[in-house]
Every structure is written in C-alpha cells, then in structure tokens.
Structure 1
Amino acid sequence: MKITGESGAVLRLDDVHRTYGTGPEAVRALRGVDVEFARGGFTAVMGPSGSGKSTLLQCCAGLDRPDSGRVTLDGTDLSGMGETELTVLRRERIGFVFQAFNLVGSLTAEQNVGLPLRLAGRRPDPAQVRRALAQVGLGERTGHLPSQLSGGQQQRVAIARALITRPRMLFADEPTGALDSASSRDVLALLRDLVDREGQSTVMVTHDPVAAGYADRVLFLADGRIVDDLPRPTAQQVAERMTALETAA
C-alpha cells in the first residue's frame, strides 16, 4: 500500500529498489518503497542506522539512481533522464541543506547565497540575494564571511543558498547535527516557518526526535522499508517509536 501525504504530491516513489554490491555481500538499501510527499508539506525521515534513510534521500533528489521503480518530481520522471538533465534539474528545482554548511570561506554571506546562480551561468540579482538572506533573518549580515558567523547563522546562510533558485523541493540531511541546542531550535523553527509561510515542500532526514517533532509527519524506515507513518508527531511519540524500532533491530 502506498504511503500518501495529505494533499497533492510534489514527489512520488513507486516500488523503488536500490541494492549496493552483488552476491552474498550485497546490501539491499531500499526494498520496494512506495511513498508520496505532499506539496507544501514538511516530512521527517527517521530510522536506525543502516535503515536506508540516506539512500532514500539521494534517490528522491536524483543523486542516486534506483535499480528499479520510479521517482517522479513535480510530474517529471527522473528514471529516464541523463546525467546532464539530472544536473540541470537538481540545480533548478531542488535545494540541499546538509549537516556540514559547505560555505566557501573566502566568500561573504551574500556571495555564498548567489553562488548557485553563478554556477548556472546566471548573474545573481543583488536584491533577490538580499531578500533570501532577510528571509532567514540575516538581512544585516550580507557582507560577513562564514568565519564571522555562528554555526546557526552559517546554516541559515546555507538555507538561503538552497532557496535562491526557488526549488520545488528542499532536502535537509541532518541540518542541525553540527549545532548546539539553541541554534538547532532556531534552524528548525526557520524550516517550519518556510513551510507554513512560503509553502516550501521539505524532506528532512534526522536522528533527533525533537527535530522530527517540527514536521507534519514522520516516516520510519527499517531494513529498507517504510514501516510506519506518524502524522502530527510529538517528540515523545517519535522517541517511543524509534526506541521500539531500535530494540527490534
């Protein structure tokens, strides 16, 4: 049975399988995943180590190709696309935020945010870049280097950089993993606000039940399969289900 979101889907996976290696050493990272992600929704993905979370995210974002099955983003089937087409799609329709901020140390916040446009051969509009930084609460820090910003502020710059192309999907892989608790709350509140205010479709992989509690729903993976789907989660509910999964594993 397909796991569905509560509104129209912006992203769909149909019977997606992904195996690494061959023979007895083969690792079946995804085993027939069927799932939809709602447009304008915030989904957290959790599971024990080795459950397939990162592979799921990579297949969703076109960074990895399933062995079989289909991934459809905003009506486009990724399975039939070549590497050049996928690169363009990722550049124009997908935003990424990672645990490591991946900012260029010699560039200002404003220059880091405009970098995806320059890589796409487009000259950044300074007003657009400043709006993106203001959107994440850094309108007064446009000229600061990463070394002059806190960890939480650097992650906000990374989020502004991910949003500058107005992506259909924002993927966040452990976005608070390198932050202290106060900065984590700020970043999670920002992601929540982007969903509520801007309708930004977001998928976040996390190990943190508190972080997952900011999402609209939590998908739980185990052994490459989606084993649970928790709507309107609380941190306590997420922690209890994760404990049960880890005990079973």
Structure 2
Amino acid sequence: MDLSARVGISAILFDKDGTLFDFRATWDGWAREVITELAGGDEGRRAALADAVRYDLSTGRFAADSPVIAGSNDEVAALFAECLPGREAPEIARALSDAAAAATLVPPVALAPCLGGLRDRGLRLGVMTNDAEAVAHAHLATAGIGGFFDFVAGCDSGFGAKPDPAPLLAFAEAVGAAPGAIAMVGDSTHDLLAAAAAGMVPVAVLTGPAEHAELAPHAAVVLPDIGHLEGWLWP
C-alpha cells in the first residue's frame, strides 16, 4: 500500500538552510569570515556587526534566536547597515548574496538518493527559502540537486517571505496540489508557522539551531533530518 496516499501527501516543499543543508556546519564558520570582511579591520565595528545578528565571535556560533536563522537576506543587510555608516542596505545585501553563493555547503544526508527516492514515489518537490532566489539556485546546482525540484523561490521572487504563507501557496499552485496535501519541511518556527497559515502539514527537522522543544508545538512531526521523511511517509 502506498502510504503517501493514506497520509494525503503528494508534494513536499523544503526550506533550504537548516533543512537541505546543515545550518551550523555550513553557516557558523562562514559568518565569521563575512563579519570580519565587512568590519574592514575595525574591531569595534566587528563586535557591533556580530551583536546585530546575535553571533558569538568567541565560539563562532549563531545564537538560537539569531535573526539570520529565519530572516531574509534584506533583513540581515538592514541590520548590518545600522553598523556600517556610509553603506546602504541594498549594496550590503548584494555583497551577502555573492558571499553566500560561494559558501561551502554541508548537507545533513546524501541529498541525491534522498530526494530521488521521494521523486520516485511520485512526490512533487520544491524549495522556498528566505535567502535570495539566485543564491538558492546556485546552492542547489552546486550540490547537484537542482533537477529534483519543480519550484524554487526566494524572498525576492515576488511571493514574499516566510512566515507569510503566500510563497508556500505559490508552490501549491505551481504543482497543482491542494495545500493540505503538501508537507512543508523546515528547521525554524517561521517555516512551521507559514505551513500552518497556508493549510499545509508542518514537518520539523533538527538540522538547524532550533531544538525539539521549540519546534514540537508547531509541528505534525519532528524528524532528525530529511533522510527520515520516507520512513515517516511509508513506515
């Protein structure tokens, strides 16, 4: 029996960072380099930039409540702009996108077999990230998984950003699936709240900074990583 029919899931929409790619392994070290470069050798400014995004320079880690975790590229750029007199947020946002596109990505599981298995079961797949769309396409291409997705959207794709449900509903329309037949998989409450607002099934994974206790009240299920999706859909 195909249990995807029993639970009613015909499509899956993934968050990117913290879901398709392990957040801390990918972005904690990258952030130190970016903050240091933006500071331009000014230690006071470096500390201010780190504080603005709740990044601990001594440990090289984002705090669990960092605005970077679920915020859009533009929101992060605006926070940095407050610490960088003479630099405008749009220019900083472009610099962040360029740096992010070149980041070393660390997936939590072997992505091609995982996503291929879901596609082989007949599921339609998509990505909705609060990062820029161009960066999302670059990351998916670098990881060799761009061809698995029917839909890729970022915060600048014209649908808005999570937790607004509009970009999730754009995926539903694109693949011709009812929202209730779509699982939204993410590592933050922004992802899960967006899923609930869109009428989708919220699925949490623990490959971002948020812990089980924070995610569980908002999720239909909390999984260690996306490699456990098949086992959840077809136990």
- TM-score > 0.5 by shorter chain: no
TM-score by length of 2: 0.31
Greater strand fraction, Structure 1 or Structure 2: 1
Greater helix fraction, Structure 1 or Structure 2: 2
